[in-house]
Amino acid sequence: MLIQAVGAVLPMALAVALSPFPVIGTVLILAGRQGRRNGLLFAAGWIAGLGVAAALVVVVFGGADDPESPSSAIADWGRVFAGAALIVLGARTWWQRPRAGDEAETPRWMASLDDVSALRALVLGLLLSGANPKNLVLTASAATSIVETGAHDGDLIVAVTVFVLVGSCTVLGAVIIHLLGGQRAASFLESVRQFMITNSAVITAIVLLLLGASILGEGLSGLGR
């Protein structure tokens, strides 16, 4: 059960981890005043947000391991709508991506991240992970997949933990590199930030299209049982 549950959540967890904006935000926070403190708080908020969202879905769809249950049918229909929404969003993101010669810019809401307070860093991590619509869809799909494998008790906790840690690996990785790497780490993280800004639309579109198709397919397969 545990291996099945972990295998089921890895694609969604990687999609969460590869989202460009949290990485960009983390690097900006780390480069600012009190960067170490605020970076750790942002990472803590990010992990907490994913964990709470996943736990809530597990509670709500706790009966989805029974294919005949209402929870299972609701989960499958939810996958169909969520997968279709991700595909539409991915296509829209691809269509609106910067063309050759266009200058990619950091989103305006990130402009002041180098001077955030401790509380704002924590809350921002919570919101970007737990309240972000794309992450909510991916987290809900991952948590439902865990329940549907029949994982319970310790296996359930381990699978959710794996999802949270893998989904947080880029944010955590940036913080750890900053804490251990000194000036060389700052230069490396800045190059990562620039890469993410330049290619954020393409990365986001590809991830959304692939995961949307996968989630939609799982929903349709579930409804056809």
What is the C-alpha to C-alpha distance for residues 54 and 32, in angstroms, rounded to an integer?
Answer: 31
What is the C-alpha to C-alpha distance for residues 142 and 145, in angstroms, rounded to an integer?
Answer: 5
Of 58, 89, 53, 83, the closest CA to residue 71 belongs to: 58
Question: How many domains does the structure of the chain reveal?
Answer: 1
In the chain, the amino acid numbered 94 is: W
Structural domain that includes position 130: 2-223
pLDDT class of 67 with cuts at 50, 70, 90: low
What is the C-alpha to C-alpha distance for residues 166 and 160, in angstroms, rounded to an integer?
Answer: 10
Average pLDDT over residues 63-71: 64
pLDDT of 10-60, one tens digit each? 888 988 888 888 888 888 888 877 888 999 999 999 999 999 998 888 888
Q: Which two tokens stand for residue 225?
A: 């049982």
Average pLDDT over residues 135-141: 85
Please say whether the beta carbons of 97 and 201 come within 8 A.
Answer: yes
pLDDT of 87-124, one tens digit each? 998 898 888 877 666 666 666 666 667 778 889 999 99
pTM for the whole structure: 0.84
Please say whether the beta carbons of 123 and 44 come within 8 A.
Answer: no
What is the C-alpha to C-alpha distance for residues 212 and 138, in angstroms, rounded to an integer?
Answer: 9
